[in-house]
Structure 1
Amino acid sequence: MNLTTAQSGHIIPTGIAGFGFSGKVFHAPFVHAHPGYRLSAFVTTGNEAAQLYPSAKIYRSFKEVLAVEDLEMIVLCTPHPLHVSQAIEVMRAGKHVVIEKPVAMNSRDAGKLISAVSETGRQWFPYHNRRWDGDFLTVRQLILSGVLGQIVEFRSHFDRYNPVVGRAGWRYLDDDGGGTLFDLGPHLIDQAVALFGKPDSVWCKLYRQRKESKASDGFDLKLFYPETTVSLGAGVFMSEPGPRFVVHGTKGSFIKYGTDPQEARLKNGRKAGAPATGRELKKHYGTLTTVSDGVIKRQRIPTLEGNYLSFYDNVYNVLTSGQAPEVSREDALLNLQVTETAIRSDAEGRVIAMV
């Protein structure tokens, strides 16, 4: 926790709409653990939230929680297609809102969210928590240090083995569920644009590899920059995962296997903010290879410690002290513009220039 949080003293009463996997693992534990918030309410039809957080009030409808006057912020962990209409309702009710990714299903609707900020005077925050993955923080530090030189190729993948549609099946069983491109895609795209900005052009191939998948369950996506090619991918039939990150530059390369450990530890009951939650085992450290005067040097690079609590720390400081958001609304808009261009590229079978 940084000093600003400790100095402010203001507590933000917060409610969470939805208590599925996202609400249970990625939001409630952090809002509850952060000293700048009071976890006051849930919107859920189940009983688990009441058992885990007995001091919070349970509401059975979204309209009910909007009318709670002392709530200052609501976190949306509802299905993707509901995000825009619900977020605008939250802001019009005088509350700030955190929106799970994707914030919208298209850039036009994201533009409506941006307009609602000036209309209501309330703010919304895209939940792109993977900016606080330890492996991404490590890659970003290496790139910024210049040790790799000019980056010519950047690869980032989420490889999983989920041969049967299970949790959150609506993402794949409904034509408008968005599939993997709208589930894991926002994280990969966000990390890429955080490093390299808006691409010049985009190519994409979407896959529907499971028989029951109506929406894409895998993708290959390329973002083209003047000197860098970014390759992003995700799939559901990777029983032997490849590298999480591969970065090649004019002075060297960095290759990293394994995924950030925070999600797995949180799912297994580790408390948010507990020591070492985001600390990676040494066996998963990445390898940096550099070449100088014809001499090749290889070294293991300790992974920086990830910390998803930093997302809520940033939101708190934006609201109480005017700090700039780590993930801006414009970042979320660009994310969706890239996604839309990817969908068009798949449909037309060609590289599409970003406008």
Structure 2
Amino acid sequence: MSHPFSVTTCWCWLVRSRHTTSVSNALISTFSLDYTHMTSPLLRAGLVGFGFVAKVFHLPLLQASGRFEITHVVERTQSLSAAVLPRATIVRSLDDLLATDVDLVVIVTPTNMHYAQAKAALEAKKHVVVDKPFCVSHAEALDLVATAKANNVVLSVFHNRRWDSDFLTVQDLVQQKTLGDLQYAEIHYDRYRPEPKQNWRESPETLGGGLVYDLGSHLVDQMLRLFGTPESIHADVQSQRGANLNDDYFRLECRYADGLIVVLTAGMLVKELGPKFILRGSAGSFEKYGLDEQEAALRDGVSPHDAAFGVEPESIHGTLTRGETKTTVPSRRGDYIVFYRGVADAIEHGAAPPVSPEDAAHVIQIVETAKQTHRRTQEDA
């Protein structure tokens, strides 16, 4: 049977224990800062790139952390950051940034640029945060881990979905064994975008683009945090909106030694959204609809210090079912600020980074393997 899109399936084996891995510019300017608790000078941060992710996520969270001052921005040809960071210096190259006294380099560029840029910054003995996904390949990731260690600097990756309201709630249920012995879990990240965007993520010519790298890295990281490393992964990756586009659907079926099955799935043609999380265990089940509110709040210019930031409405709280009894489980408050405060603690006090580069490398190992199945199918078509 022929299909209007490419489909591929493979099995990859990963041997480890399940329990191994325990806006607008105007709106951005409204974020308030509270440095009254500070007893030491702010760390100096430089942004490499000033697109959507830099403006909506990294800029406000760096500021709201109360630990960083954004002193430099790398923009090759434009000066968009001047409107919201008038005191920051715009430089035209990474080399220019590395010649300054910035403490932290935050890389927010297309994925295929992450490795070379992070490598250069680490070798210049700068602390580095890389936006997810970490890089294109597991080999690149391992080299960056080694480079950070060799230069005695902090390296972390912005896996912010560890601090989503729904994920924190599910993490509590798993750790407390509320559902007994888990048998099955699903984590979704679905959207309805039938018209592809003309950007690097959608282009099949760009390494590190596509949905497996973009959203898959979030889901894989959440799975590893909740359940550890699976023994095997069955990967189905598709380009449903056209064979000449990057992948826009995936389903990863992950199996564990104790019988647990975890399904990670995302697609761009899902108009009627189902549950975000489904968990089934020997003592009950849990379902949770809706998306974490923090991204939408940041888009709207809501300060991370606002009392309502990260608080989900009761209408999307999850449901715990035990026998015939259904109970609403209040969602924990999401807290993206934790990330950059953790980075500051790692730099200043030697604490473990909020996301270890080893964890991020493990994510890329799984994502890269799934993505390779899609490339092989395209080549065989």
Normalized against structure 2, the TM-score is what?
A: 0.85
Shift of 1:338: 1.1
Shift of 1:163: 1.2
Note the residue ranges of structure 2 that are not aligned, 5 or more in a row.
Answer: 1-35
Partner deviation per Cα, 1:234-287 (whole Å, 9 max, x = no partner): 111111111100011110011000000110111112123322210000101110
Does the 8 Å contact 2:188/2:266 carry over to 1? yes
| Shift in CA distance, 19/272, structure 1 to aligned 2, threshold 3 Å | farther
- Please identify runs of 4+ aligned residues in structure 1 that moved more than 3 A: 5-8, 343-349
Cα distance in 1 between the residues matched to 2:303 and 2:168 = 22
Give the 3-state SS of the residue equivalent to 1:159 in structure 2.
coil
Cα distance in 2 between the residues matched to 1:106 and 1:231 = 23
Letter in 2 for 1:215: N
Give the 3-state SS of the residue equivalent to 1:172 in structure 2.
coil
Cα distance in 2 between the residues matched to 1:67 and 1:328 = 26
Cα distance in 2 between the residues matched to 1:310 and 1:165 = 33
- Is it true that 1:162 corresponds to 2:190 in the alignment? no
Correspondence list, 1:130-169, <5 A:
130-166=161-197, 169=199
| Shift in CA distance, 73/141, structure 1 to aligned 2, threshold 3 Å | same
**How many residues in Structure 1 have an aligned counterpart in Structure 2?**
339
Cα distance in 2 between the residues matched to 1:184 and 1:149 = 29
Give the 3-state SS of the residue equivalent to 2:189 in structure 1.
strand
Structure 1 counterpart of 2:335: 307
Partner deviation per Cα, 1:141-183 (whole Å, 9 max, x = no partner): 011111101111110001101111226x211213324200000
Correspondence for 2:302 among 270, 275, 285: 270
Correspondence list, 1:118-137, <5 A:
118-137=149-168
Q: Quote the sequence identity (%).
A: 37
| Shift in CA distance, 348/174, structure 1 to aligned 2, threshold 3 Å | closer
Correspondence list, 1:186-335, <5 A:
186-211=217-242, 213-226=244-257, 227-291=259-323, 296-335=324-363
Higher relative contact order (CA 8 A, sep 6+): 2
Cα distance in 2 between the residues matched to 1:26 and 1:100 = 10
Give the 3-state SS of the residue equivalent to 1:170 in structure 2.
coil
Structure 1 or 2: more helix by fraction? 1
Shift of 1:213: 4.7
Shift of 1:7: 6.9
Note the residue ranges of structure 1 that are not aligned, 5 or more in a row.
Answer: 350-355
Does the 8 Å contact 2:237/2:251 carry over to 1? yes
Cα RMSD (Å) of the superposition?
A: 1.8
Normalized against structure 1, the TM-score is what?
A: 0.91
| Shift in CA distance, 283/10, structure 1 to aligned 2, threshold 3 Å | same
Does the 8 Å contact 2:321/2:327 carry over to 1? yes
